[in-house]
Structure 1
Amino acid sequence: MTPFTVTVGGLVADVLLPGGAGPFPAVLLRTPYDRLLHRAEQRGWARHGFAAVVQDVRGRHASTGVWQPYANETADGTATARWIRRQPWNDGRIVAVGASYAAHCALVLALDAPRDARPDAVVAAVPALGAADTAREPTGVERLAARAGWWAAHGDRRDSDEAALAGARAADPGLLAHLPVTGLPERLGRDLPSWPGLWRRGERGRLIARAGRAAVPLLAVGGHHDHFTEDTVALWRHWGGPCARLLLGPWGHRLVAEPGPDADPAHRVRLGALYARWARRALGGDLTAGARGVIGLGGSALWLDAGIEGEPYAPRLRALHGTSFLADPERPVSSDDLTAPARDTPDRCLLVTPPLPRPLDVVGPARLELRATADTPSADWAARLVALTPEGVAQRLAVGIVRRADTPGRAAGFTVELGRLARRLPAGTRLRLEIAGHHFPAHARNPHTGEDPVTATRLRASRRDLDPGGVLLRLPVLRSRPTPIDPAQEIPR
């Protein structure tokens, strides 16, 4: 099997046909990450009987035009899908596939393209739903490090430099701490005209809102350690097509190639073969209607029904060093370091549980309820949940962050969503809850002046006080032993 190269309206694509007589169903993957890096994936699809088309998006690598992230994918995908359906080797059926930004390309084609260009099924892995969705948490707090890394590597350039941000931070460890955040391009020493506009995007959730009108099957794939986990689950839950499947494992953004510390050998799924089998059944109309799926239970070898959720459990918490601290954006709590250094002036509130008397299977959304006070008009509240294993190893479980604008000095009650967990915690594990005013550089620092954190140039410290009786951690705990499920059987069912 040898691919041949075509150009569709200036967009360069490689096409690989299976052996034997056609026509064949097609798989379309549109990517900004260089189509040549997808040769193995392309061969895998062809071995399973699909004509595999991999295309560089506009302005990237071999394709002509100007690269504007998230701007042209519906129109360009439409033109490419129509071209595929005119080819003698295509039987008229198309599966749109992709991971991260490429999943965005597949989804907008399914949701926004004219009917004659829409695919017949979609595989969306770790979907970067849109510019606003990737730039901010659902609460509005800015995801700084991840977006700076992506824009430094891929933004406003034809090729990619995956090490761009790491290299710049090695030369200047305080690179992301310089203000304003919009000044990052100058510190990187290159032109990034789309960087400031990223933070002005306000359309978070638009793709999820449109997902209810979907008319084709979906396979959504994600990882518990991926920063788009909540978006992946929301896409699956809101999908309006005839059927939707969810596969969520203890993985990072690169899925099985990036297993988390809680992954088991049983979580090494052969994704390519599973995708192909699901796609065949989707195109044949052989999938069971409705939303189904499986999730991997970290810390075990189990896969569980994606619809299962535990019952609320509130572990007993004890504050270690009091419940007052100083949130100083000049000395923010690090998102990269799980140690909790002792300081004369605490920079966070630390609470711990006693050792767990028995193993707990925590499955579902976790949340923290707080009653607290800040002396500034704007305040972020970051909560990080850490598991301290019986061996003394600290493992990150969950992070949540909200932005509040309460009356300075007046206590307010609110909730911090910590995201979905799927983890078995062994007996003897202690939980450490950290409540702070920053989670940097994963998230931009709130300057506490009321200014936009992206354009602010002044910082102010913020004094915080927690009501000890108003701190409640709610974990979803399974009360009985879960029934194991085989993803290779459930996903294509």
Structure 2
Amino acid sequence: MTPRTETVAGLATDVLLPEGDGPFPAVLVRTPYDRLRHRAELRGWARHGFAAVAQDVRGRYASPGEWHPYRDETADGAATARWIRRQPWSDGTLVAAGGSYAAHCALALALDAPEDARPDAVVAAVPALGPAETAREPSGAERLAARAGWWAAHGDRPDSDEDALAEARAADPGLLTHLPLTDLPRRLGRDLPSWPDLWRRRTPDGPGTRARTARIPLLAVGGHHDHFTADTVALWRRWGGPSARLLLGPWGHGLTAAPGPGAHPAHRIDLGTLYARWARRALAGRLRAGRAGAVALGGSPLWLPATLEGEPRTQRLRLLSGARFTADPEHPVRSDDLTVPAAGTPDRCLLVTAPLPRPLDVAGPAEARLRATADTPSADWAVRLVAVTPGGTAERLAVGVGRRADPPGRPAAFTVALGPLARRLPAGTRLRLEIAGHHFPAHARNPHTGEDPVTATRLAASRRHVDAGSVALRLPVLPSRPTPLDPAQEITR
């Protein structure tokens, strides 16, 4: 089965029709990552009876024009959707589908296009919702490494170089430490005019902010080890359409192709077949109303209902060190290293639980509550939860970064959200909670001067004090062994 190439709305578009006379329901994938890479996916949709369409977005690969990330997707998607519905092989129904930036394209079409161009259902996998959502945590902390990697690979160019940032960092190991961060394009040696504009957007402006206006079914798919996990869950919770389904596994941004810690063979799913089954039922109006879905419990073979959350319980913590520590942006706590320094001036507050006396199943949002002081006008509080096995192996479970602007020297009580968890923790596991001032390079360094971390050129150390007795780790603990379910049945019911 070989797609034929068309020019639709001036853009390079592949179309693959199923066998038979039609007309057929259609699925549209709009991507900046080269439509030719989606040919196997198109064949899968066609085998399930869908007319499959993949399109290079404006200014990328075979599509002419200028590439402006996130700017033209609603208008170009609407023109393509209208073209599809005019074709003799189309039965008039349309599913918008995609992963990462392609999920943004699908959601923009579903939420922002004129009524006559909107799809009838949407599949959004690891959705990169919009510029502000992808660039910052809800607290405002900048997601540096992920955005630098994406812009180096894809930004302001007609094709992609997936290794661009890795190669640049190999040549210049301190690449991401250079200030200001707006100077990154010069360090990379190429133009990135959209890079500074990314950081000017401070309030969420992507499809996720308008999810409550949706009027069609949604299938949201994500991974617990993806940097957009919380966004995926929030999209599902906010969705205003007649039905919303969530599928969340112990996967990374590549989903089942990138299993993470805690993955079990039972967590491998034929996503293509599941998407097609869900789409058929969605287009026929046969999905039960409301929110439902399946979440894999990492460390076990189980799948649980997406609506199942544990009872928040506070875990007892013992202070190991660093009730007083220095957050020095010249020597930040690193996001890519779980090693804890054994000597020198403390750079983080360390607390730990006793070994778990029995296995612990956690499912739902986790958080850390604390009372703490910084002597600088701006301070990030990076809280990392780590599981330490009886053999001493450390594994990151969750991270949250809260940005505060409390009066210097004045204690403040606050909560740092750690995101959704779904994990079985074996007996004997110790939970280590690290409270630091940085989580670099995953997140940009707060300069502690009150300046914007993206444009700052000066750094200052920040002395911190954590009231260790106030620290509470709140985990959503399932009270009893949960009843498993079949994820495919749950998604399509």
Q: Match for residue 22 of structure 1?
A: 22
Listed one character per residue, the Cα deviations across residues 66-98 of structure 1 (whole Å, up to 9, x for unaligned) are 000000000000000000011111111110000
Q: Deviations over 1:46-71 (max 9, x none)?
A: 00000100000000000011000000
Cα deviation, 1:391-437, whole Å, max 9, x if unaligned, reads 22111100000111111111111110000100000000000111000
Deviation at 1:314, TM superposition (A): 1.4
- The offset of 1:343, in angstroms, is 3.1
Alignment partner, residue 128 of structure 1: 128
SS in 2 for 1:44: helix
After superposition, residues 44-83 of structure 1 pair within 5 angstroms as: 44-83=44-83
Alignment of 1:97-108 (within 5 A): 97-108=97-108
Cα shift at 1:390? 1.9
Asked if 1:210 corresponds to 2:245, the answer is: no
**1:484 aligned onto 2:470:** no
1:310 maps to amino acid: G
Question: Cα deviation per residue 1:22-41 (whole Å; 9 max; x = unaligned)?
Answer: 11110000000000011111
The 8 Å contact of residues 297 and 303 in structure 2, kept in 1 or not, is answered as yes
Partner of residue 445, structure 1: 445
C-alpha distance in structure 1 between counterparts of 2:207 and 2:274, whole Å? 26
What is the SS of the residue equivalent to 2:213?
coil
In the alignment, structure 2 segments of 5+ residues that lack a partner are none
What are the superposed Cα offsets for residues 329-364 of structure 1, whole Å, 9 maximum, x if unpaired?
Answer: 000000000111123101111111110000000111
Aligned-partner SS, 2:321: coil
Aligned to 1:14, what secondary structure does the other structure show?
strand
Unaligned regions of 5+ residues in structure 1, if any? none
Which amino acid in the other structure matches residue 467 of structure 1? D
Aligned equivalent of 2:119: 119
Q: Is structure 2 residue 47 aligned with structure 1 residue 33?
A: no
Q: Deviations over 1:190-209 (max 9, x none)?
A: 00000000000133155223
Counterpart position of 1:387 = 387
Q: How does 1:255-294 map to 2 (within 5 A)?
A: 255-294=255-294
Letter paired with 1:153: A
Aligned residue for 2:295?
Answer: 295
Residues in 2 aligned to 1:317 and 1:308: alpha-carbon distance in whole angstroms: 26
- Does the 8 Å CA contact 2:348/2:437 hold for their aligned counterparts? yes
- Give me the whole-angstrom Cα distance separating, in 2, the residues matched to 1:413 and 1:238: 28
Q: How much does 1:213 deviate?
A: 1.3
Paired amino acid for 2:349: C
The answer to whether the Cα contact below 8 Å between 2:104 and 2:207 also exists between their aligned partners in 1 is no
- Residue 407 (structure 2) pairs with residue 407 (structure 1): yes
TM-score (norm 1): 0.99
Show the counterpart of 2:230. 230
Q: Which residue of 2 aligns with 1:370?
A: 370
Output the CA distance in 2 between the equivalents of 1:321 and 1:382.
16
**Deviation sequence 1:190-244 (CA, Å, 0-9, x none):** 0000000000013315522311111111000001111111111111111111111
SS in 1 for 2:7: strand
Do the aligned partners of residues 243 and 349 (structure 1) sit closer, same or farther apart at CA in structure 2, a change above 3 Å counting? Answer: same
Match of 2:41, as an amino acid? E
Q: How many correspondences in the alignment?
A: 493
2:452 maps to a residue whose letter is D
Partners in 2 of 1:206 and 1:272 — Cα distance?
A: 26
Q: Distance in 2 between matches of 1:205 and 1:371?
A: 32
Q: Deviation per CA, 1:432-452, whole angstroms, max 9, x where unpaired?
A: 111000000000000001100
Report what 2:314 is aligned to. 314
* Identical-residue share of aligned pairs (%): 77
In structure 1, the residue corresponding to 2:19 is in which secondary structure? coil
Mapped to 2, the partners of 1:77 and 1:140 lie a distance apart of 30
Trace 1:135-154 onto structure 2 (pairs within 5 A): 135-154=135-154
Give distance in 2, aligned partners of 1:322 and 1:285: 57
Q: Residues 69 and 168 (structure 1 numbering): CA distance in 2 closer, same or farther, change over 3 Å?
A: same
Residue 91 (structure 1) aligns with:
91
Q: How much has 1:312 moved relative to structure 2?
A: 1.6
Give SS of 1:95's match: strand
* Structure 2 residue aligned with 1:188: 188
Q: TM-score, normalised by structure 2?
A: 0.99
Q: How much does 1:9 deviate?
A: 2.5
> Partners in 2 of 1:72 and 1:481 — Cα distance?
48
SS of residue paired to 2:387 = strand
- Matched with 1:352 is 352
CA–CA distance in 2 between the matches of 1:489 and 1:298? 20
- Which residue matches 2:252? 252
**Secondary structure in structure 2 of the residue aligned to 1:199:** helix
Q: Distance in 2 between matches of 1:321 and 1:151?
A: 39
* Counterpart-to-counterpart distance in 2, 1:349 and 1:375: 16
CA distance in 1 between counterparts of 2:165 and 2:396 reads 24
Alpha-carbon distance in 2 for matches of 1:362, 1:205? 32
> Separation in 1 of the partners of 2:47 and 2:75?
30
Deviations 1:281-329 (A, max 9, x none): 1111111111111100000000001011111211211111240100000
Distance in 1 (alpha carbons) for counterparts of 2:123 and 2:281: 13
SS in 2 for 1:212: helix
Contact 2:348 2:436 in 1 (8 A): yes
Alpha-carbon RMSD across the aligned residues, in angstroms, is 0.8
CA distance in 1, matches of 2:133, 2:16: 33
Deviation (angstroms), 1:488: 1.2
